[in-house]
Chains A and B, each alone.
Chain A
Amino acid sequence: MARWRAAAVVMASWWLVVCPPPARAQAPFVLSSDEVETLGRIADVERMMVRRAQVARDERLQGYLADVGLPLVPPTFRDPRLHIRFALFRDAQPNAFALPNGSIYVSLGLLAQLENEAQLAAVLAHEIAHVTHYHYFTFDRQARSTSTLLNVLTVGSAVLGGWGALAAQVGIGTLAVGTLYGYSRDLEEEADREALAAVARAGYDPAQIPALFGRLLVDYDGTHVETPIFYSDHPKLQSRIEYTTRLMRERGLAPDAGATGAAPYAATRRRAAAVAVRLAIRDGLPRTAIAWAGEMVRQDPQSAEAHYLKAEAYRALGHRPADLVTSPPSAAEKKRQAELRQRRTPEEIEAADAATPAGLAAWAANSEMAMAEYRTAVGCDPKFAATYAGLAQLEAALGHFDAAVQAAGTFLDLAAPDDLERARIRQLRETWMAATARPPSAEVVPPVAGRRP
């Protein structure tokens, strides 16, 4: 009997949880006192982000975001409690998010990945829609009411006693996961619809919205692991390409009807990529770094920094193959690699790769590419100090310790007195100098990708 009563509670909870959410209030959106307090607390979150150096300080890029983003704010939107502003998130992953107080953050990785201003406008319009439609508060209200319901039902089912109570708790938990994440998906689709309208209004090519999702689908490093849509914050990108294309047709928006803004975006992309490439190398995404640095080189073939960054990315790639886009790994292989990264250090993974014939072949190709790029960088600007630090480490990895010592010396001559690389290169030079006194090792292991030696 107790089991049946528990099942009844589960059914009741299911009905309460999945029943349609109440229609969102029309403007003005009424905030509770708790929600107004939340707006105040968001300032603390932003303070924390600054304190943890997650916010990039670049006034030029920030100003550009405002120039593109502010005209996309609906002219009818008026809420003195929310202040729409734009800032940069210091992260290699292409991403953007809006805080409920109106602050919109765009990652440097996203700026490096996008192709034109129209795609950036689409991202900003999407995030602006989250703010102007009060999506945070809508989602939070649903989440809170579900959470309260769960607590009440936990007590209710426990009163029934025995195994039925435990089963009821399991059932409720499963429903909660589905409902909490499901609402988010609806809100994301609404933001996409609003973005499409805003981008078209502003005179951008609306076809750049599906193109944007296509750019986000590119998986240079094979790190995108498929997740069930149930747990996904955003609808799957492929389905977003399909429904935004369908929406364009339904609204009579012709592709190529507006501007893409590729030319004005080029300088922004280059500036963001100069930092994003370094972050991608740090995060173990060398192929992503190669792609972004390659774009920098394409835009400015005389830039020593662009060639240097491309060389660094190839050196960081180490014993791994350079191209995963034309022959992508299977989902099972991606999962296996992801699990491996949780159990092994980057140094251990690199050493294992170095022991395979494929790894050695990849290293031969990657080190050759890196060497060519370092040499081109020296040709572009012989006084660009960082090139020599990277070159020295590559020479050492190839067992050319005399050349490594020489390049390290050049770096130490050229680098600023307070350059943070000085201590490391000085220390490495000592070990290389000692190595020149020894017979060369039979096996040379290059530096680990994403981790400087």
Chain B
Amino acid sequence: MTRMRRLAVGATVAAAWLLAACGSPATHARPEFVSGSPFRAVAILPPAVSIDRSRLSGSESLVAEALRIEDVVTRAVAAELGRRGYLVRPGLSVDALDQREDLRDAVADLQARHDDLLGVIARDPAGIRRGRFTLGVSVAGIGDAAGADLLLFVRASGELVATSQKVTEAVPGVLLGIGGLRQDTLSLLVTAVDGRDGRVMAIVSGGATGNVVKDSERVVGQAVAAAFRQFPARAAAGPARASPPH
């Protein structure tokens, strides 16, 4: 299976998971993480957001809007982490990575490995609790460079449906006595990984309804809040494992 095919399969699985997550927040985590997070400093890797608009003439990806919303998602996740007592390090932000090419490429490689692994995790999410999944010790360099002991991978998928499309799709459902109007949605998936040894500590997901392009702050805020509902706060006396920022 080629890398592109694997990515496509991974993306499909992740998208299915994201869609399932919409409106039904889910958490899969290692027991030691849920009982009180030992992590102190968190770095958020650049999120990957996709937004599709379905119209009668076909669907299209809203790339500029997705790029803008990636920044909104980063801010909302950082705020949520701050409320839970974590120190949020900016070392892996898009701007920071732009300044350092080796780190930028290493982060891109790590994101690709995460997306590959996500396809396997989706088939056995309970494996996270058993400690089945890891991204490997090679994350240590990135965690160290960012001064963080916890790394967050964020994926979001938005769907906007044109009114004409909603009505057209609803007609067969109404005539056959099933279904109704589709809604605009945003689904979010967050993977938490130990920044020292690469263990997957948790995956949380959540979603919100509404037009994420027109009402970005509200829709993103609701999706992030739903996903983080069961994300543990930093333990009060958690060991200081993070290296100082460089």
Q: Identify the A interface with B (CB < 8 A).
A: 41, 44-45, 47-48, 51-54, 57, 90-93, 95, 143-144, 147-148, 151, 154-155, 157-159, 161, 165, 169, 223-225, 279, 282-283, 285, 337-338, 341-345, 347, 418-424, 427-428, 448, 451-453
Of B102-110, B181-189, B210-218, the segment with at least 4 beta carbons within 8 Å of chain A is B102-110
B58 touches A452 (CB 8 A): no
A contact residues around B64 at 8 Å (CB) = 41, 44, 47
A450 nearest CB across to chain B (Å):
9
B contact residues around A93 at 8 Å (CB) = 2-4
Bound Cα distance A406, B97 (Å):
33
B contact residues around A44 at 8 Å (CB) = 63-64, 67
Q: Which residues, 110 to 147 on B, are CB-close (under 8 Å) to A?
A: 111-113, 117, 119-120, 123, 132-134, 136-138, 140-145
Query: Is there a chain A Cβ closer than 8 Å to B237's Cβ?
Result: no
> Could you say which of B48, B58, B97, B145 contacts A420, with CB atoms under 8 Å apart?
B145
Bound Cα distance A283, B109 (Å):
9
A278 nearest CB across to chain B (Å):
8
A contact residues around B94 at 8 Å (CB) = 51
Besides A44-B64, A47-B64, A52-B48, 10 new A-B residue pairs in contact (Cβ under 8 A), listed by A number: A45-B63, A51-B94, A144-B58, A148-B58, A154-B171, A158-B172, A225-B5, A283-B112, A342-B9, A423-B140
B53 nearest CB across to chain A (Å):
12
Given contacts A47-B67, A93-B4, A420-B145, contact A148 B57 (CB under 8 A): yes
Bound Cα distance A155, B137 (Å):
54
A427 touches B67 (CB 8 A): no
Bound Cα distance A428, B165 (Å):
56
- Cβ-closest chain A residue relative to B101: A57
A158 touches B137 (CB 8 A): no
In the complex, 22 of the A-B residue pairs with CB atoms within 8 angstroms, ordered by the A residue number, are A44-B64, A47-B64, A51-B94, A52-B108, A90-B105, A92-B3, A93-B2, A154-B171, A155-B172, A224-B2, A225-B1, A225-B2, A344-B120, A345-B120, A345-B132, A347-B134, A418-B246, A419-B141, A420-B103, A420-B144, A420-B145, A427-B137
B contact residues around A45 at 8 Å (CB) = 63
B103 nearest CB across to chain A (Å):
7
> Could you say which of B6, B133, B169 contacts A341, with CB atoms under 8 Å apart?
B6
> Could you say which of A41, A90, A337, A453 contacts B136, with CB atoms under 8 Å apart?
A453
Q: Which residues, 49 to 87 on B, are CB-close (under 8 Å) to A?
A: 56-58, 63-64, 66-67
B contact residues around A279 at 8 Å (CB) = 109
Query: Is there a chain A Cβ closer than 8 Å to B240's Cβ?
Result: no
Given contacts A53-B104, A282-B113, A345-B117, contact A423 B172 (CB under 8 A): no
Q: Tell me the total A-B contact number using a CB cutoff of 8 A.
A: 137
B1 touches A223 (CB 8 A): yes
Bound Cα distance A428, B140 (Å):
10
Bound Cα distance A315, B9 (Å):
27
B contact residues around A282 at 8 Å (CB) = 109, 112-113
Bound Cα distance A22, B99 (Å):
50
Q: Identify the B interface with A (CB < 8 A).
A: 1-6, 9, 46, 48, 56-58, 63-64, 66-67, 94, 97, 101-109, 111-113, 117, 119-120, 123, 132-134, 136-138, 140-145, 165, 168-169, 171-172, 175-176, 196-197, 243, 246
B contact residues around A158 at 8 Å (CB) = 171-172, 175-176
Given contacts A52-B48, A53-B105, A169-B172, contact A428 B1 (CB under 8 A): no
- Cβ-closest chain B residue relative to A42: B63
A303 nearest CB across to chain B (Å):
20
- Cβ-closest chain A residue relative to B48: A52
> Could you say which of B58, B105, B138 contacts A424, with CB atoms under 8 Å apart?
B138
A148 touches B56 (CB 8 A): yes
A424 touches B171 (CB 8 A): no
B contact residues around A92 at 8 Å (CB) = 3
B contact residues around A448 at 8 Å (CB) = 136
A451 touches B113 (CB 8 A): yes
- Cβ-closest chain A residue relative to B94: A51
Cβ-closest 7 pairs across A and B: A53-B108, A420-B141, A158-B172, A338-B1, A423-B144, A452-B138, A44-B63
B contact residues around A41 at 8 Å (CB) = 63-64
